Structure 1
Amino acid sequence: MADHYDVLGVSRDASPDEIKKAYRRLARELHPDVNPAAEASERFKDVTHAYDVLSDPQQRERYDLGDQGGSGFGGAGGFGGFGDIFDTFFGGGGQQRGPKSRQERGQDALLRVELDLGEVIFGTHRDLEVDTAVLCETCQGSCCQPGTSPVTCDICHGSGQIQRQVRSLLGNVVTSAPCGTCRGYGTVIPAPCATCQGQGRVRARRTVPVDIPAGVDTGLRLQMPGSGEIGQAGGPNGDLYLEMKVRHHDIFSRDGDDLLCTLEVPMTDAILGTETTVPALDGDVPLEVRPGIQSSEVLTVKGRGITKLRGTGRGDLRVGIHVVTPTKLDHKERELIKSFASHRKQSGPKLGQFQQGLFQKLRDRFMNA
């Protein structure tokens, strides 16, 4: 078997570009449509096979290491697998025929968006800065310098495929493979756009306006179809995914669509009752503390929680009561408390029936509200 480098007329250290140029020169000379001679047809097969091997870095490496077939056999275990067999005898095992499109769908993108708890109540608007691929303004996705356009490949004549006969145990079999000159596109770009290097897109920063709905929570992902990066050669955009993260709030926390907080009530107000105002995230909320209220009780304000993500209405604001007992009393205060205790004539602390609910509330005030 002739040496592939000798067939193409290049040295063993030839660059991929030198190998490609040598193949194109010989292909124009030996292609059956140009040179009908039988000898030229056989040489064209050898030239094409040599180019197929040497233009593929993996096959070239195997060939340089002694795999003279250069066709996929001789790998681990001695065979390249069923895919190689189909490629050899049936032209790619059922791959798509004809030229392929240069346009490809762009990749999806993922951004993490941090929100304050107050922004979650009614939703918010953000203008997000995204580093992504955008359409090349110079060539408008054509990949060509302005004033030029792709031209039909003179090797495959626009089909994107090269057919050749292969001698096998089954006789002469016609195989088809992507054209090495145009890489299966059927056209070549004689003058690639200098701005995008023939990609039809460039990297840039762009602003994406986003309306984030109310009720989102940490870990939720929102999909924005068509807002990802643009594809090669002006192909369709991918999608943009926004992953939400709600920041911790020092006072309010969240349970589903409900907002939770704790109200510290002085002992005297707990005994006598009082009216107060809770500064909620969306405005002040009037709250009535009834006389005799106990620690771990929960007051519920309907409709002052978070707007539901799916559905209508809002959750509730749940306020857990924590009665604060003074730890330092002056002489007069102590005498007043003693007088109060004497007047009440209480017998002092005593054991009572165990109340599971009480301890549950002390540990987690809001779950049983």
Structure 2
Amino acid sequence: MADQDHYEILGVPRDASQDDIKKAYRRLARQLHPDVNPGADAEEKFKHVTHAYDVLSDPEQRRRYDAGGDMPFGQGGGFGGFGDIFETFFGAAGGRGARPRSRRERGQDALVRVNLDLGDVVFGVHRDLEVDTAVLCETCQGSCCQPGTSEVTCDVCHGSGHVQRTVRSLLGNVVTSVPCNVCQGHGTTIPFPCATCQGQGRVRARRTVSVDIPAGVETGLRLQMPGSGEVGPAGGPHGDLYIEITVAPHEVFSRDGDDLLATLEVSMPDAILGATTGIQSLDGPVELEVRPGVQSGDVLTIKGRGITPLRGSQRGDLRVGVHVVTPTRLDAKERALIEQFKKATKAPGPKLAEFQQGLFARLRDRFRNS
């Protein structure tokens, strides 16, 4: 039958319409479906009828077939082959060989949100997290049964998890296999469910999960801990635990990739003469050299005092933008000194110059918007 013409298999002429092809297939399906016709070769014939229908019901495949080509048996297009057409007409649970459904299932994933300070991001931090999830029932150890008892074979489906049911369909009366409503498709029942977990094999509980959060994390990042989520029903495999990170804004520092940004206010005398000052970085004090003549917008870089990257070991830098503070209130003596300095230096008066968007301004804007 495998080499027989598809039109002959369906019993239609080569100029048959799509409607005629569908009617022919339905007629043959009623006769040959294994749940309707228990004959030894009925299932094999049904497969060939289905393949012929797959090819001829698809306009493009039919055109190629009429031109001399064909799809290999079992790889028809329209419904995806015998398995799919079988499910289309008779349901996914239909047919033979259905197995009982296991009580053990994978547990759900869990999500925990963790708030960090910017200092935690520099080197990473260890946290003990309280997680409220499903854990294995200590009384029954996931068996779902009272200690000393066990599951028994279902009297209705005799352990198969399915029962036969006759239903009307577009092919007429057919017998389908459906999950047993007594054992819910498991093939077994639990006469004495565990009183602690109510026969679920798991209970809700709060537990502590220790996690080392690596350096370089940022807001919105999710860390995955495989197998640390909820235990599944009947002691099934654990789901995963996801840790979502939120980094709180810092009063002084902001982040730019692996670098830290800060602003250093410098008095006018120190800007003119230069100075050495100690500043407090996120991992301790550090000396910063302000060179003579520094300008607002200049950036002083301290190597290796930034953030350790998430994947790597080379720390970023601490970049400090200089802001020269001009005094707004002067007494008579201070004003006289400034005027004397102005005359001595013969400094030019204010004038327009080409506009420049300095690096400091970009750092300042980034800091304000972080």
TM-score by length of 2: 0.71
CA contact (8 A) 1:91 1:177 kept: no
CA contact (8 A) 2:322 2:360 kept: no
| Match of residue 92 from structure 1 | 93
User: Over the residues paired in the alignment, what is the CA RMSD in angstroms?
Assistant: 2.5
Kindly report which structure 2 residues correspond to 1:98-117, keeping only aligned pairs within 5 A, or say none.
98-117=99-118
Within 5 A, what are the aligned runs for 1:237-316? 237-316=238-317
Shift of the alpha carbon at 1:89?
4.4
Counterparts of 1:17-28 in structure 2, within 5 Å, are none
User: CA 1:233/1:294 → structure 2, altered by over 3 Å: closer, same or farther?
Assistant: same
Does structure 2 conserve the Cα–Cα contact (< 8 Å) formed by 1:320 and 1:366?
Answer: no
Please tell me whether residue 355 in structure 1 is matched to residue 350 in structure 2.
Answer: no
Cα distance, 1:355–1:145 mapped onto 2, change above 3 Å? same
CA contact (8 A) 2:218 2:245 kept: yes
Map of 1:226 onto structure 2: 227
- Name the CA distance, whole Å, in 2 between partners of 1:228 and 1:247: 26
Q: 1:90·1:174 contact (CA, 8 Å) conserved in 2?
A: no
**Partner SS for 1:262:** strand
Deviation at 1:251, TM superposition (A): 0.3
Q: CA deviation at 1:355?
A: 3.3
Mapped partners of 2:273, 2:91: distance in 1: 93
**Equivalent position amino acid for 1:128 in 2:** L
Deviates more, 1:287-296 or 1:331-340: 331-340
Task: Output the CA distance in 2 between the equivalents of 1:95 and 1:280.
Answer: 71
**Take 2:129 and 2:158, find their aligned partners in 1: how far apart are those partners?**
46
Q: Residues 288, 175 of structure 1: CA spacing in aligned structure 2 closer, same or farther, 3 A cutoff? A: same
Q: What is the letter of the counterpart of residue 257 of structure 1? A: D
Map Cα deviations across residues 106-152 of structure 1 (whole Å, 9 max, x no partner).
Answer: 11111111000000000000000011111111111110111101011
Q: How does 1:45-60 map to 2 (within 5 A)?
A: none
Q: Give the deviation of 1:176 after TM superposition.
A: 1.2
Matching residue of 1:37: none
Indicate the SS of the match to 2:344: helix
The separation in 2 between residues aligned to 1:95 and 1:319, in whole angstroms, is 74
Helix, strand or coil for the counterpart of 1:226? coil
Residue of structure 2 equivalent to 1:149? 150
Residue 139 of structure 2 is matched in structure 1 by 138
Distance 2:172 2:330 in 1: 108
Measured in 1, the distance between the counterparts of 2:107 and 2:91 equals 32
Identity between Structure 1 and Structure 2 (%)? 70
Secondary structure at 2:132 match in 1:
strand
1:277-316 per-position Cα deviation (integer Å, ceiling 9, x unaligned):
1100001111100000000110111111000111221111
- CA–CA distance in structure 2, aligned partners of residues 106 and 252 of structure 1: 41
Change in Cα spacing, 1:285 to 1:157, as seen in structure 2 (3 Å) is: same
Counterpart of 1:154 in 2: which secondary structure? Answer: coil
Q: What's the CA shift for 1:86?
A: 5.4
Give secondary structure in 2 for the equivalent of 1:128. Answer: strand
Contact 2:95–2:176 at 8 Å: present in 1 too? no
- 1:44-92 deviation line (CA, Å, top 9, x unaligned): xxxxxxxxxxxxxxxxxxxxxxxxxxxxxxxxxxxxxxx9x95884673
Aligned to 1:335: 336
Change (3 A) 1:260 1:89: closer
Do the aligned residues in 2 keep the contact of 1:306 with 1:316 (CA within 8 Å)? yes
Question: SS at 1:243's partner residue?
Answer: strand
Change (3 A) 1:171 1:288: closer
Using structure 1 for the length normalisation, give the TM-score: 0.72
Paired residue type of 1:206: R
Pairing of 1:74-89 with structure 2 (within 5 A): 89=90
Deviation (angstroms), 1:177: 1.2
Q: Give distance in 2, aligned partners of 1:217 and 1:167.
A: 59
Give 2:130's aligned residue.
Answer: 129
Cα distance in 1 for partners of 2:237, 2:296 equals 60
- Measured at CA, do residues 340 and 145 of structure 1 come closer, stay the same or move farther in structure 2, by a change above 3 Å? same
Q: Which whole-Å CA distance do the structure 1 matches of 2:337 and 2:179 have between them?
A: 98
**Alignment deviations for residues 143-179 of structure 1 (CA, whole Å, 9 cap, x no partner):** 0111101011111111111124567786774421111
CA contact (8 A) 2:299 2:360 kept: no
Aligned equivalents of 2:254, 2:323: Cα separation in 1: 16
* Equivalent residue letter for 1:330: D
Task: Give me the whole-angstrom Cα distance separating, in 1, the residues matched to 2:288 and 2:206.
Answer: 49
Query: Separation in 2 of the partners of 1:337 and 1:169?
Result: 101
Structure 2 residue ranges without an equivalent (≥5): 1-83
Unaligned 5+ runs, structure 1: 1-82
Q: For residues 114 and 306 of structure 2, what CA distance do their matches in structure 1 show?
A: 22
Instruction: Give the counterpart letter for 2:201 in structure 1.
Output: G
Are the structure 2 counterparts of residues 167 and 294 from structure 1 closer, same or farther at C-alpha, using a change threshold of 3 Å?
A: closer
- Cα offsets for 1:2-47 (capped at 9, x unmatched): xxxxxxxxxxxxxxxxxxxxxxxxxxxxxxxxxxxxxxxxxxxxxx
Matches of 2:284 and 2:187, distance apart in 1: 66
Helix, strand or coil: the match of 2:223?
strand
Kindly tell me: are residues 90 and 271 of structure 1, through their superposed partners in 2, closer, same or farther at Cα, counting changes over 3 Å? closer
TM-fit CA distance, 1:361: 3.8
Match of 1:343, SS state, is helix
SS at match of 1:321: strand
Q: What is the SS of the residue equivalent to 1:103?
A: coil
Quick one: which amino acid aligns to residue 355 of structure 1? F
Partner of 1:201 in structure 2? Answer: 202
Distance 1:322 1:205, change over 3 A: same
Aligned residues of 2:116 and 2:248 also touching (Cα < 8 A):
yes
Equivalent residue letter for 2:260: L
Q: 1:184 is matched with which residue?
A: 185
